Amino acid sequence: MIAKKEQTEQEQLIKSLAKKTDEHEFYTPIPKNYEFGKTKYVIVTGSVISGVGKGIFSASLAKLLKDQGLKVEAMKFDGYLNVDAGTLNPYRHGEVFVLDDGTECDMDLGTYERFLDQELSKQNYLTAGKLFSGIIQRERDGKYLGRDVQFIPHVTGEIKSFIRTLAVQTQADVVLIEVGGTVGDIENSYAIEALREMAYEEGPGNSCFVNVTYILKPDSLGEHKSKAAQLGIRQLMSMGIQPHLVVCRSHEPIPEKIREKLSIFSNVPLDRVISLPDAESIYAVPLAIKQAGADAAVTDILQLKAKLKTQEKALARWQEFEEKIKSPKTEIKIAITGKYTGLHDAYASILNALEHAGAANDAHVIVEWVETTKIKSREDAAKTLEGVDGVIVPGGFGARGAEGKILCIQHAREQKLPYFGLCYGFQMALVEFARNVLGLKNANTTEIDPETKEDVVDILPEQKEKEGLGGNMRLGGQNIHIVKDTLAEKYYGATSIRERFRHRYECNPKYIELFEKSGIVFSGKDPKHPIMKILELPNHPFFVGVQFHPEFTSRPLSPQPLFKAFVAAAVQHHATHTPDHPASH
């Protein structure tokens, strides 16, 4: 542990050098009111391959620390030159998650929110594009006082400033930082360098580096091989970082000799080389990490044990939830008529919300993926949806598969099959109803047919003058007025709620009265403007469309109310439509 006097001298040196840019090579802006040693940092890096679960590990560790009474914040650095995730193709990057403040971000932040059960903000997400655009703007504004702006110290300095600003704004005990990709990626090298510098500046006992690696087991050999992991860790060490923990991801538990090899090779004690094989459910990971002693090791390294509180109640609640996931009383099938059915990560939050709602209803949800481009008729829709207990039309953009979605919605409405429309699914429900109930045969959204005369769905007024694709939608949290004596009020138990949006189009106000006269109830509305947010059909087991994305606010221990009600309706449908089930007679 660094002596208090020595720590104070180091703080004074850094603060004094931070102010000097002409004579010195330092650039370390320190946010106002920042206190060295007050916030501890956990840095999670990856090696060998990406996509092995750094986000799940980071979220699980953050949860365990929070459950012990610590104030925890989690943030992600992505090396992409995109300013945010809004324009990323879901096929390449997975779901675009939306925070309450409107930030379009990596899906890992959704995992953080769900596991921590807390809202994050733009301060929890940094991309290379966001970083460099800010640096270039500061250079244009003369903020660097004539200096030649370089990766070191300026880029690294801005990264450190971003992290410390999050610490000051949230007053966190621990900030957990996940570096996207793997060690060795050029796009991550300056971020890792910034974190090395930061650990040096903060002093011993204030930073903990965790490397999540992958242990290969080639089928042709039939045994685990650690050389790739060794080389990945060695590359991290060559960048000046000594990991404190090594987490070994694998399909199955790794042999003791593999742990021993990595321990010797990385200078990490054997009890801090942790085997973390694939789990049956992501919700089993926190308990697995705890059993491996990872959270205890982190709190020991960061000298936090004096601050810890018992976490028995939190663990018991989580174990009860996990048990419901593992041992459901019934099984239901939900069809998702999506555009990106080839990559399930594109609908990660929906899948999670269904799991949360399933556990609350003692049900296991099996997802049937429906490619709607293949649905050309009502008969196709009926055949495709045969045997399912509910239908979801998720968010999306563009015309591909839209007519197939409309046919699926018609089948669900007419056959009393539980239906839940999310954002685009809200709009498609309006088009279907307009065509088949109102008799407007050419009804459409102007997103698909800009020339339609029966434009029941049209672009939002504030979007008409905007150009480009980045950040030009209605984004983030919006307040919603819930009409009394509606199903929405019953499900939410409130007349004022807040949900997250990501859309450009809405129900055309000139058709609202016609829809309402014909049976649609708009049970959720903008508090000030004639913008419809929720529609429902009263004489249906469950037919609800929402203009927002309720999946973003679902949590494992507090499922989103509409998802919970939808799954409950699907469970009831299953009970009454299953042959030989008592309720079906």
Q: What is the mean pLDDT of residues 108-114?
A: 97
Share of the chain above pLDDT 90, in %: 80
Query: pLDDT tens for residues 330-345?
Result: 999 999 997 766 667 7
| Contact yes or no for 31/213 (Cβ under 8 A) | no
Taking 80 as the threshold, does the pLDDT of residue 203 lie above it?
A: yes
Taking 80 as the threshold, does the pLDDT of residue 11 lie above it?
A: no
Taking 90 as the threshold, does the pLDDT of residue 471 lie above it?
A: no
Q: What is the mean pLDDT of residues 199-227?
A: 94
Task: Given the residues 158, 355, 447, 551, select the one marked as catalytic.
Answer: 551
- Alpha-carbon distance of 476 to 104, in angstroms, equals 9
Q: Give whole-number Cα distances, 578 to 326, 366, 503, 574, 581, in Å.
A: 22, 15, 38, 6, 6
- In the chain, the amino acid numbered 361 is N
Partner residues linked to 442 by β-bridges? none
- Coil/strand/helix, residue 581: coil
Token output for 400: 């591909």
Taking 50 as the threshold, does the pLDDT of residue 165 lie above it?
A: yes
Domains of the chain: 39-319 (3.40.50.300), 328-582 (3.40.50.880)
Is 551 among the residues known to form the active site?
A: yes
| Contact yes or no for 341/334 (Cβ under 8 A) | no
Taking 80 as the threshold, does the pLDDT of residue 20 lie above it?
A: no
Share of the chain above pLDDT 70, in %: 92
Mean pLDDT of the chain: 91
- Alpha-carbon distance of 492 to 499, in angstroms, equals 12
Q: What is the mean pLDDT of residues 530-554?
A: 96
Q: What is the mean pLDDT of residues 123-139?
A: 96
pLDDT at 470: 46
H or E element: which one contains 265?
A: helix 256-266
Taking 90 as the threshold, does the pLDDT of residue 259 lie above it?
A: yes
pLDDT at 209: 98
Taking 70 as the threshold, does the pLDDT of residue 210 lie above it?
A: yes
Give me the residue label for tokens 């047919």. Answer: 449
| Contact yes or no for 522/535 (Cβ under 8 A) | yes
pLDDT at 18: 59
- Alpha-carbon distance of 169 to 9, in angstroms, equals 25
Q: How confident is the model at residue 469 (pLDDT cuts 50, 70, 90)?
A: very low
Least confidently predicted of 139-143, 191-195, 492-496: 139-143
- Alpha-carbon distance of 454 to 281, in angstroms, equals 47
Query: pLDDT tens for residues 384-420?
Result: 999 999 999 998 877 788 999 999 999 999 999 999 9
- In the chain, the amino acid numbered 557 is L
- Alpha-carbon distance of 316 to 309, in angstroms, equals 15
Phi, psi of 388 (to 5 degrees): -90, 160
Query: pLDDT tens for residues 504-529?
Result: 899 999 999 999 999 999 999 999 98
Taking 70 as the threshold, does the pLDDT of residue 42 lie above it?
A: yes
| Contact yes or no for 378/385 (Cβ under 8 A) | no
Token output for 568: 């409950």
52: Cβ contacts below 8 Å, ≥ 6 apart: 46, 212, 214, 249
Q: How confident is the model at residue 468 (pLDDT cuts 50, 70, 90)?
A: very low
Task: Given the residues 224, 244, 503, 549, select the one marked as catalytic.
Answer: 549
Q: What is the mean pLDDT of residues 109-114?
A: 97
Task: Given the residues 423, 432, 507, 574, select the one marked as catalytic.
Answer: 423
Token output for 216: 């290969």
| Contact yes or no for 402/428 (Cβ under 8 A) | yes
- Alpha-carbon distance of 566 to 358, in angstroms, equals 10
Q: What is the mean pLDDT of residues 274-300?
A: 95
- Coil/strand/helix, residue 259: helix
For 242-358, strand residue ranges (E) read 245-250, 273-277, 330-336
Q: How confident is the model at residue 585 (pLDDT cuts 50, 70, 90)?
A: very low
- Alpha-carbon distance of 211 to 191, in angstroms, equals 15
Peptide bond into 153 cis (omega under 30): yes
pLDDT at 395: 87
Identify how many contiguous H helices and E strands the chain contains and give both numbers.
Answer: 19, 21
Token output for 205: 């006992």
Please, what is the Cα angle at 509 between 503 and 512, to 5 degrees? 110
Query: pLDDT tens for residues 87-101?
Result: 887 767 778 999 999
| Contact yes or no for 202/209 (Cβ under 8 A) | no
Q: Give whole-number Cα distances, 104 to 80, 188, 477, in Å.
A: 14, 20, 12
- Cα 534 to its chain centre, rounded Å, is 23
Is 408 among the residues known to form the active site?
A: no
| Contact yes or no for 383/352 (Cβ under 8 A) | no
